[in-house]
Amino acid sequence: MAFGYVDCHCHITAQEFMQDTEEVIDNSRKNGVQALVCVTEHSGEFERLINLSERFPDFVMPCLGIHPIQSDTEGQRSVTMKDLEPVLAQFEKYKDQLVAIGEIGLDFTPWLAPTQEQRDEQLKVFKMQLDIAKRLDLPVNIHSRSAGRQTIAFLKEQDVHKVLLHNFAGRPSVALEGVHAGYFFSFPPAITRNDQRAKLIKQIPLENICLETDSPSLGPCKEKRNIPSNICIPCDYIASVKGLQPDSVREVTTQNAMRLFPKMYHKLKT
């Protein structure tokens, strides 16, 4: 199989892509992207992502999940079970199409989840989705902002093995606990804005790294919409930090993605 890039974490159903989704997908293919692993943040995206995956079955790889931070008319807030419960049946309904459960996880950003009660509720929502992933034998696509240590500890405690920690920003020592558990880590184009992640990337073996864009967020320029074809940017950056050729990084990270998301591998082979 040829080794194009695999974007292991992007938001193709985000509002920012509503006007030109097909163009973005077409542009990604033209720029060497082999597949998009697409996540959701809230239940309103579920049907749209499934529809896109049916239209582009060899390219859009769907993950369903409820993010630990939700938006409503008053702004952002910590997730509650009321956000997850109405859509539990949809995980079962679409289980054959899904390549993973995500984006799920913990977000203990002080101004978004300041109380222990909110954090406990996030853990409940997280655990329920981890249970779904285990039952359906699917990997998980994980958010861990301001909660890297707690997220990895909880994943290990829950005996979860197939894990992608997207845009991980914790300490190298914490990341290495994840490496020892067999987890994967992915990094978006925003890592090129400064060298804060270089030490972390240096210490994580390439065999535990995947590529992502997190588009439309976390691009190389804060003010511009990020797109999946920017996937070459973290690839080149990781190569420079590790003293490797970008082609080697692309090949190994794509093999890692195929190993982590076996249902994607089978979809691409058929």
pLDDT tens per residue across span 148-189: 999 999 999 999 999 999 999 999 999 999 999 999 999 999
| Model pLDDT, residue 3 | 81
HSE, side-chain direction, 13 A CA sphere, residue 191: 29
pLDDT in tens, 31-62: 999 999 999 999 999 999 999 999 999 999 99
Show Cβ contacts of residue 124 under 8 Å, excluding neighbours closer than 6 positions. 81
pLDDT grade, residue 2 (50/70/90)? low
Q: Is the peptide bond before 157 cis (omega within 30 degrees of 0)?
A: no
Q: Is residue 1 domain-resident?
A: no
Q: Is residue 231 part of a domain?
A: yes
- pLDDT reading at 199 higher than 80: yes
Residue 131 is labelled as binding a ligand: no
Is 214 labelled as part of a ligand binding site? yes
Q: In the predicted model, is pLDDT for residue 133 greater than 90?
A: yes
Reply yes or no on whether the pLDDT at 269 is more than 80: no
Q: Coil, strand or helix: which one is 84?
A: helix
Mean pLDDT of the chain: 96
User: Which CATH number is 257's domain given?
Assistant: 3.20.20.140
253 and 6 Cβ atoms separated by less than 8 Å:
yes
166 is in an annotated binding site: yes
Q: With both helix axes pointing from N to C terminus, report the angle between 116-136 and 148-157 in degrees, rounded to the nearest 10.
A: 40
Residue 104 dihedral angles phi and psi, to the nearest 5°: -130, 165
In a domain, 186, yes or no: yes
Residue ranges making up the domain that contains 183: 6-269
Cα–Cα distance for residue pair 246/170, rounded to 1 Å: 25
205: cis peptide before it, omega within 30°?
no
If one counts the domains in the chain, the total is 1
Indicate left, alpha or beta for 268 from its phi (over 0: left) and psi (-120 to 50: alpha).
alpha
- What beta strand segments (E) does 87-240 contain? 100-105, 140-143, 163-166, 184-187, 209-211
pTM: 0.97
- Ligand-binding site membership of 9 (annotated): yes
137 is in an annotated binding site: no
Q: Does some domain include residue 42? A: yes
Residue the block writes with tokens 């992640």: 197
**Residue 7 assigned as binding residue:** no
- Whole-number pLDDT of residue 72: 86
